Amino acid sequence: DAGVIQSPRHEVTEMGQEVTLRCKPISGHDYLFWYRQTMMRGLELLIYFNNNVPIDDSGMPEDRFSAKMPNASFSTLKIQPSEPRDSAVYFCASGGQGSYEQYFGPGTRLTVT
Amino acid sequence: GEDVEQSLFLSVREGDSSVINCTYTDSSSTYLYWYKQEPGAGLQLLTYIFSNMDMKQDQRLTVLLNKKDKHLSLRIADTQTGDSAIYFCAESPGYGGSQGNLIFGKGTKLSVKP
């Protein structure tokens, strides 16, 4: 398996624009997680899904953030409109039922100017 | 709420042992983890320990858990320059079981000097 795949790897956009981050989890994994990493706040869980259903979205910072998982092999995290304070590295991770490990993707580095 | 604390930096010489410490607050945590992040990459699980264990050894890695003090440590024996990375401690709150929300510390940046 290729591991968790995220795209794009880097995104630079202007304030006010819509940003869509994409994730393909490892095939067969039931759980999918979106994290945000910044120097100030470290690694924060934004939302996670189990069998494509959102389980906990309490970490989503504002209504500008939304996440979907239309099927078992694809998820998106959308920010609309984007703001400079959204600049961070966004990680997607997946895990299998009964597994203790979350497998992380390489991340998307987002810069909002 | 849950919180995980780590020191931010550690510098050691190649060949020495490194000890990275972590404290956590949730006494119901069932699993505790150490993840490693190399520059420009995602996090990779190094090892984990069940809360009913005191110690776990895996090659050069030794994890010690003091549940009474809610203190977790990671010892890397014979530290190499390739061990330079950021190390994250994480806990899994009891309500989430083996999956679900992981609470991460801010990470300890380990620098290994030749």
pLDDT of residue A113: 97
Report B:44-63 residues touching A (Cβ under 8 A).
44-45, 48
CA atoms within 13 A on the CB side of A17: 13
Structure confidence by residue, pLDDT tens digits, B43-95: 999 999 988 889 999 999 999 999 999 999 999 999 999 999 999 999 887 54
Q: How far is residue B65's CA from residue B31's CA, in Å, rounded to a whole number?
A: 11
Q: Which residues of A touch B42 (CB under 8 A)?
A: 4, 91, 93, 104-107
Structure confidence by residue, pLDDT tens digits, A5-24: 999 999 999 999 999 999 99
Structure confidence by residue, pLDDT tens digits, A16-63: 999 999 999 999 999 999 999 998 888 999 999 999 999 989 899 889
pLDDT of residue B1: 56
Of residues B102 and A8, the one with the higher pLDDT is A8
Kindly indicate the confidence band of residue B97, based on its pLDDT and cuts at 50, 70 and 90: very low
Does B109 contact chain A (CB < 8 Å)? no
Q: How many residues does chain A have?
A: 113
Task: Read off the amino acid at residue A1.
Answer: D
Phi–psi pair at B83, nearest 5 degrees: -85, -5
What is the three-class DSSP state of A4? Answer: coil
Percent above pLDDT 90 for chain B: 69
Radius of gyration of chain B (CA): 14
Of residues A83 and B101, the one with the higher pLDDT is A83
Owner of token pair 């934004």: A46
Q: Which residue of A has its CA nearest to B89?
A: A43
Residue range B24-45: average pLDDT? 87
Mutation site for B-interface testing, chosen from A35, A99, A104 by largest number of B Cβ within 10 Å: A104
Question: Who among B41, B101, B107 is closest to A106 (CB)?
Answer: B41
Tell me the sheet residues that pair with A95.
A31
Supply the mean pLDDT for chain B. Answer: 89
C-alpha distance from B42 to closest chain A C-alpha (Å): 4
Look up residue B46 and give its two tokens: 């190094």
Look up residue B103 and give its two tokens: 């609470």
CA atoms within 13 A on the CB side of B77: 7
Please give the DSSP secondary-structure letter assigned to residue B78: S
Look up residue A73 and give its two tokens: 């092999």
Question: Who among A30, A45, A103 is closest to B102 (CB)?
Answer: A45
Kindly indicate the confidence band of residue B98, based on its pLDDT and cuts at 50, 70 and 90: very low
pLDDT of residue A18: 97
The strand order across the sheet containing B55-58 reads: B4-6, B18-24, B71-76, B61-66, B55-58
